[in-house]
Amino acid sequence: MSKSVSAKMGIKENVRAIFVDAPADAIKSINPPTLNVASRLQGTFDYIHLFSGKQKALQKKFPKLKAHLKGQGALWVSWPKAKQQETDLTLTTVIKIGYDYGLVESKTLSIDKIWSAIKFTHPKKGKVYNNSYGTLKK
């Protein structure tokens, strides 16, 4: 039996969460456990999931979402695969944007036939991150 998308993502039950610009079909594919889902970006979150199709929108929203991410939380970013929906995002551009705003990637997966997802977390103190797509800003 294969794991559900939410299990692969490591989403824990009852955590404080928010979905930003998430299509209903994508949330259905994730099939998250019972969550404490907020309707507004207020306070801090264990799980934030942003769906974006354009670099400009991602660059605008990323730092705002990061500001609401708990220290041990995860900010997932999803973008359309293979240039679907006229996206200008690719894995490498999403990683670069994450690093530009001080978060590091740790896992990538497929949500469904349209959406890819990548997990960003706060870097661990003292750990060196070597990624050819992005450099953490000091």
CB 76 within 8 A of CB 119: yes
- Run of H or E including 136: none
List 32's β-bridge partners, or say none: none
In the prediction, which pLDDT does 26 show? 96
List 44's β-bridge partners, or say none: none
Q: Tokens 């740790």 map to which residue?
A: 106
Instruction: Please calculate the CA angle 71-115-136 and round it to the nearest 5 degrees.
Output: 40
Average pLDDT value over all residues in the chain? 93
Please state the rounded mean pLDDT for residues 9-35.
96
Q: pLDDT of 41-94, one tens digit each?
A: 999 999 999 999 999 999 999 999 999 999 999 999 999 998 778 899 999 999
Q: What is the CATH number of domain 5-121?
A: 3.40.50.150
Q: And the tokens for 98?
A: 């994450």
In the prediction, which pLDDT does 89 show? 95
CA distance 38 to 36: 7
Inform me whether the pLDDT recorded for 24 exceeds 80. yes
Give 137's pLDDT tier (boundaries 50, 70, 90): confident
Residue extents of the structural domains in the chain = 5-121
